[in-house]
């Protein structure tokens, strides 16, 4: 079981560059084209789709997949993502807590909470799509 969890964590590491590239595309391309009110939710949908695509492509590498193992992996991915967001945002970028928490308020069009739900569900969804569970 430890091996499959470690392999699943390695898959999760790919979400970091996906998120960064997605954010850069949003800021440099989408915002100027369609404005922030459209770009922000569009970016959330795009990131969620990319995460499901990567998970679907790579989840077989984790091995030993069962529905409960997929839920465990999804929970781990969720915790890793939230920890990374707060650690990177606070320690590396130096953002105040208020700015970090803005992402969790969907009233401004930010779909980050939905992306987190996609991250949590992605291992199970990907395994189902691949016929592994």
What digits encode the pLDDT tens for the residues 20-47?
Answer: 999 999 999 999 999 999 999 999 999 9
Listed residue (115, 111, 12) closest to 54, CA to CA: 12
Q: What's the pLDDT score for residue 1?
A: 72
The arithmetic mean of pLDDT across residues 123-128, rounded, is 98
Find the helix packing angle between 15-25 and 67-87, rounded to 10°.
50
DSSP class of residue 62? G
Q: What's the pLDDT score for residue 103?
A: 93
Q: What's the pLDDT score for residue 104?
A: 95
Interacting residues of 96 by C-beta distance below 8 A, sequence separation 6+: none
Q: What is the dihedral of CA 107, 30, 74, 4, to 10 degrees?
A: -170
Which residue in the block uniquely carries the two structure tokens 């009110």? 37
pTM: 0.94
**pLDDT interval class at 108 (50, 70, 90):** confident
The arithmetic mean of pLDDT across residues 108-131, rounded, is 96
- The DSSP string of 79-108 is HHHHHHHHHIIIIIS---HHHHHHTT-GGG
Residue 99 has pLDDT above 90, yes or no: yes
Q: What percent of the chain has pLDDT over 70?
A: 100
**How many Cβ atoms from other residues are within 10 Å of residue 88's Cβ?**
15
Residue 77 has pLDDT above 80, yes or no: yes
- Per residue in 56-73, pLDDT (tens digit) is 999 999 999 999 999 999
């Amino acid at each position: 079981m430890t091996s499959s969890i470690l392999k699943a964590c390695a898959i999760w590491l790919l979400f970091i560059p996906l998120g960064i590239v997605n954010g850069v595309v949003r800021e440099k391309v989408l915002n100027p084209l369609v404005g922030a009110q459209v770009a922000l939710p569009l970016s959330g949908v795009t990131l969620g789709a990319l995460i499901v695509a990567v998970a679907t492509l790579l989840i077989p590498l984790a091995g030993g997949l069962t529905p409960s193992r997929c839920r465990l992996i999804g929970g781990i991915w969720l915790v890793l993502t939230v920890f990374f967001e707060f650690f990177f945002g606070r320690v590396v970028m130096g953002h105040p807590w208020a700015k970090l928490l803005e992402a969790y308020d969907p009233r401004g069009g930010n779909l980050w909470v939905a992306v987190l739900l996609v991250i949590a569900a992605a291992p199970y969804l990907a395994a189902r799509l691949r016929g592994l569970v």
